[in-house]
A and B are shown apart, each in its own frame.
Chain A
Amino acid sequence: EPEVTQTPSHQVTQMGQEVILRCVPISNHLYFYWYRQILGQKVEFLVSFYNNEISEKSEIFDDQFSVERPDGSNFTLKIRSTKLEDSAMYFCASRQQWAGELFFGEGSRLTVL
């Protein structure tokens, strides 16, 4: 069964460093998303991406964040200068239709020291 894959599963970084989280969405999906979950809290929407551009983003998704689909298969989330409060689980998701079922990857746990 097709699945969304994410790498790395866990990354530890120093405050101020750049981090890139990678995702490979399901191949025939058109809508891509990043969500995050701070430990013990709700899952929060970060950004949605369609047709090679951001379609919606939350207040969390400030200038420190960027997304890219560099090669037609990968979908990346970059955090330019990490802060302690960026420590969270980051989930990538994709779906074929904008109102259809959303499929999530297993998450990338980011720890900022």
Chain B
Amino acid sequence: GIQVEQSPPDLILQEGANSTLRCNFSDSVNNLQWFHQNPWGQLINLFYIPSGTKQNGRLSATTVATERYSLLYISSSQTTDSGVYFCAANSNYQLIWGAGTKLIIKP
């Protein structure tokens, strides 16, 4: 089945910094989503982005389906951006999740 790998596993930044999180997947996909898991464990939908680029405020995402990767950009980080960022992809019925990038934003 499809494999999903995320990098880096951990990232510590100062407030105001920018960051790029990467998601590689091993096969063609018809769904690619990014999620933010907050410190309370809740999953927040960020982007549904099987291809192309989307932006939502300080966050944007790009998926290059032909090269099997997706990037999540966070600009002007805030402490509330801390948490774990997951990408998940599927080519059939179920979403396969990456292991996540744990992001800590220091004030």
Contact = CB atoms under 8 A, between A and B. Distances in A.
Asked if A pairs with B, the answer is yes
For the side of the interface on A, what is the size category? 20 to 34
Q: How large is the interface on B (under 10, 10 to 19, 20 to 34, 35 or more residues)?
A: 20 to 34
Nearest to A55: B93
- State the majority secondary structure of interface residues on B: strand
Overall SS of chain A's interface = strand
Interface in A88-113: 89, 91, 98-104, 106-107, 109
Contact of A99 (B31, B45, B88): B31
Interface stretch (B13-21, B55-63, B68-76, B96-104): B96-104
A37 B33 CA distance: 17
A45 B41 CA distance: 17
Interface of B: 30-31, 33, 35, 41-43, 45, 48, 86, 88, 90, 93-100
13 contacts: A33-B94, A42-B97, A42-B100, A44-B97, A45-B94, A45-B95, A99-B30, A101-B33, A102-B33, A104-B45, A106-B42, A107-B42, A107-B43
Enumerate the 4 nearest inter-chain pairs by beta-carbon distance, A residue then B residue, closest first: A101-B48, A99-B30, A45-B94, A43-B97
